[in-house]
Amino acid sequence: MLDGNIDRRVGLATHYHTDWVVPYWSASLVKITAVRTHLFFRWDGFWGSRTVFAARGLGREPSVPVLAAWSSAHVPDEEPGSEVINAAVGDLAAADPQETGAAQITDGNTGNPSKPPFALLQLPLRGQTPGRWALDALDLCGSRPECRVVGWLDPAQAPPILGADTIVVAPPDFVFVQVLRNRVRQPYWDCTRWSKAATSRCLGTSTETATILYGGVT
């Protein structure tokens, strides 16, 4: 269909189902035809007319950036020049956090600042819902190849230096992970306080949170 090849029998169809089920919506639509075990339907009235289908297909599915946090299908492919972006991220993570918004990172063992392969940024959460946190984090990471965003509802709980050891002591309320090479853009938060459809993406213990931030993310 995206290539403009339409089966005339079902060309105006917007819905279909197999003939062994009866969805609640089927009675409100106009049945067009049956093809083997599938029944095809269109909208009634103007929205089911040929006029609505006058535009040509794009030949591809559109990418919707605000949905990237929930579906890897909307994560843009890395573009030429990503080497330059990677270099910029390294500079950002090593710079003064007061100037860039990136938190200083320690290796969690020696306590010495180290250059990470990603930018670690802080996001104020107060007054916003978790869904808004995810969208703001997505905007904050932008096109950085690898990025982590953390946030605390109470800013006073945020440690002055972020490291695997300090995160365990003061775990954040929100974590966002972006790894474009793996097509990952994923928000995490405490599902006991704010519900989330995929429970596998809930923040667990403080140690698990540190693992999400510093490694083991797929």
Whether 178 has a pLDDT exceeding 80, the answer reads: yes
pLDDT tens, position by position, 67-104: 665 666 666 554 333 333 333 333 333 333 333 333 43
Backbone angles phi, psi at 215, to 5 degrees: 155, 165
User: Would you say the C-alpha torsion 9, 10, 11, 12 has a positive or negative sign?
Assistant: positive
Judge whether 3 lies within some domain. no
Judge whether 148 lies within some domain. yes
Q: State whether 89 and 187 are in the same domain.
A: yes
Q: β-strands 184-189, 30-35: how paired?
A: unpaired
Q: State whether 155 and 76 are in the same domain.
A: yes
Q: State whether 145 and 108 are in the same domain.
A: yes
Q: State whether 177 and 155 are in the same domain.
A: yes
Q: State whether 79 and 178 are in the same domain.
A: yes
Whether 61 has a pLDDT exceeding 90, the answer reads: no
pTM value surpassing 0.75: no
Q: State whether 172 and 70 are in the same domain.
A: yes
Judge whether 46 lies within some domain. yes
Residue 192 structural domain: 65-214
Give the DSSP H/E element, type plus range, for residue 99: helix 97-100
Q: State whether 98 and 160 are in the same domain.
A: yes
pLDDT band at 16 (very low <50, low <70, confident <90, very high): very high
Q: Of 16-20, 50-54, 172-176, which gets the smallest average pLDDT? A: 50-54
Total domain count, the chain: 2
Q: State whether 208 and 176 are in the same domain.
A: yes
Judge whether 111 lies within some domain. yes
